[in-house]
Amino acid sequence: MFDVVVDKDKCNGDSECVNACPAQVLELVDGKAEPVNMDECLGCETCVEVCPTGAITVTEV
């Protein structure tokens, strides 16, 4: 299991992570990325790599 956290203050809503995630974990909600499907997270950290503002952290739990 992985815990995906988006720092809403850093998120600029560009949807890079939403588009890059292979498991459709993230969605844009009110202009900010939100982990809506965390159970499906693969822990690949693609979202972390594509985020231009470093807003996402993925932690194995």
Using a 10 angstrom Cβ sphere, with 0-12 exposed, 13-18 middle and 19 or more buried, the burial of residue 34 is middle
Instruction: Determine if 45 is a binding residue for ligand SF4 (CB under 6 A).
Output: yes
By CB under 6 A, is residue 34 in contact with ligand SF4?
Answer: no
- Could you say whether residue 6 binds ligand SF4 (CB under 6 A)? no
Residues 26, 33, 51, 55: which binds ligand SF4 (CB under 6 A)?
26
The number of helices, as runs of H, and strands, as runs of E, in the chain is 2, 4
**Which residues contact ligand SF4 by CB under 6 A?**
2, 4, 20-23, 25-26, 41-47, 58
